[in-house]
Amino acid sequence: MEPNKVPESNQQQWRCPLDNTPLRKQVVGGVVLNTCPRCGGMWFAAGGLDEVLARAFADPDGVISGDRRAGARLQQYGYERVLRCPQCGREMVAGRYGGGVSSVELDRCPGCGGAWADGGELAALVEDLCRPSGLGSARAMGEAIAGAVRERERWKEINQAGGELGRRASPLDLFLPKIILPLGAGVQVQNFPVVTVLLVLLCSGVFLVQVLAVEHLQQFFLSFGLVPQQVSQGRQLWGLVTHMFVHGGWLHLLGNMFYLWIFARAIEDELGPVGFLWQYLLCGLIGSLVLLLVQPQSPLPAVGASGAISGVMGMFLVRHPRARIPTLFIRYIVHVPAWLYLGLWVLLQLLALLAVPAGCSCSVAYSAHIGGFAGGLALAWLYRRRSRRSR
C-alpha cells in the first residue's frame, strides 16, 4: 500500500471539483483528508483545515510533505471560476484564509463549512502562517491569528447551524406564534421553583458548552438532537431526551427559557418538583413522537425544549383557564384570559403546520409543539380527574 494512504474500502467517493476525479483518502499531518490523485487538490471537511494547521505549528515539514504539489506556482481565480462542494454540492466561495491574513486563496463551502485547496495551496498556507522566521514573534503571531480565525469560524458555525435548524433564532418564530409577549402568568406562586431553575441552568450550561467547547456543531446536533430518520430505524434513541437540552442559537434558548419561566413556576408549585419533572419530560417525549409521525424520514436534527414547554402550557390551560395573563401588545399591557391566549397560540401552531409544504423538513417543529401541548392537556385532565375520585 502507498504510504499515508487509507484503504480504498473505507473511502467515501467524493469527486474533485476541478476534474471530477474520485478523491482518495490520505493522511496529512496525522489528519485524514480527501485528495485528488490527478491535480493534487485537497478537501477539508468542516474544521479539518484548522486541525491540520494546528498540527503544522508543531511539524510544518510533515504537513508540507503531504502536499504533492508543494512549491508550485499558485493562481488566484477570485470569482472567475465557480467550484461545487464535493461533499454537499453547493457552490463554494473563494477567499483568502482568515479574511486576508494569508495571501493563499481557498474555496470554502457556505453550506457544510468545508474548504478546498488546490495543489500546492496547503504548503503555501503553512509557509505563510507556521514557519519560524528571523523575527522571534512571527510564529507566535501566526498561532494567535490561526486561533482567532478558528474562534471566528466557530461562532459563524453556531449561527449557520442555528439557521439550518428551522430558523429557530428568528424573533418572528419565537414571539409572534406565541401571541406577542406575556409578562407573567397571573397566578400566585408559593414555593421556590427548584426544578424550573435547574432546567434553565442546565439548558444554558449546555449552550455554553456548545459555544466554548464544541468544534463541529453540525456533528454535535446530529449526535444529541432528535434525528427522525435515525430514531425511526432504532438508532440514537437517546435523542428523544437529549434534544430537550440543546438549542440552535441564543435567541432560540432565550425564547424557550422565557416561556418556561412564565408558565412552569405555577405548575411546579402545584405538582411538586418530582411530579413536575416527570410530566415535563413526558410532554417533551410525546412531542418528539408526534414529530416522528409527521416527519419520520427527516435527516435534520430537531433541538430545543419547545415540545416540553408546550406541554407545560397545555397543563396551565387546564389548571388555570381563567388566569389573566399580562401581555405586552405593541406598547400597551393588556390582561388576556389564559383560555384565549393559549387557545390562539395552539391555533397559530396548527395554521403554521398546515402551511408547511408536504415533505418539507426545514421548518420549525410545529408538530412537536402541538404534540407536547396535547400531552400536557391530557396529563392535566387525568390528574384532575384522579384527584376528584380520591376525594
Question: What's residue 146's pLDDT?
Answer: 55
Which helix (H) or strand (E) segment holds residue 254: the answer is helix 250-294
Task: Please identify which residue in the block is written with the cell numbers 396551565.
Answer: 316
The pLDDT mean for the chain works out to 77
Rounded CA-CA distance 167/245 in Å is 18
Residue 59, C-alpha cell as written in the block: 511539524
Rounded CA-CA distance 285/280 in Å is 9
Residue 259, C-alpha cell as written in the block: 416561556
Q: Which amino acid is at 234?
A: G
pLDDT exceeds cutoff 90 at 282:
yes
Closest to 338 (Cα-Cα) out of 386, 252, 267, 244: 267
Question: What's residue 152's pLDDT?
Answer: 52
Q: Which amino acid is at 244?
A: M
Residue 131: CB atoms within 10 A of its CB come to 15
Strand partners, 219: none
DSSP state of 66: T
Q: How far is CA 184 from CA 120, 149, 175, 330, 333, in A?
A: 61, 42, 15, 16, 11
- Which tens digit of pLDDT belongs to each residue from 138-195? 454 455 555 555 555 554 554 555 555 544 444 444 444 444 677 777 788 888 999 9
Mean pLDDT, range 345-363, rounded to an integer: 68
At CA 91, angle to CA 365 and CA 116, rounded to 5?
A: 110
What's the half-sphere exposure (Cβ side, CA atoms, 13 Å) at 262?
23
Sorted by where each starts, the structural domains of the chain and their CATH numbers stand as 8-153 (no CATH), 167-390 (1.20.1540.10)
Taking the alpha carbons at both ends of the chain, their separation in whole angstroms is: 79
- Specify whether the CB–CB gap between 143 and 116 falls below 8 A: no
pLDDT exceeds cutoff 70 at 56:
yes
3-state DSSP assignment of residue 115 = strand
Question: What's residue 173's pLDDT?
Answer: 44
- Which tens digit of pLDDT belongs to each residue from 207-238? 998 888 776 777 788 888 888 888 888 888 99
- Specify whether the CB–CB gap between 226 and 241 falls below 8 A: no
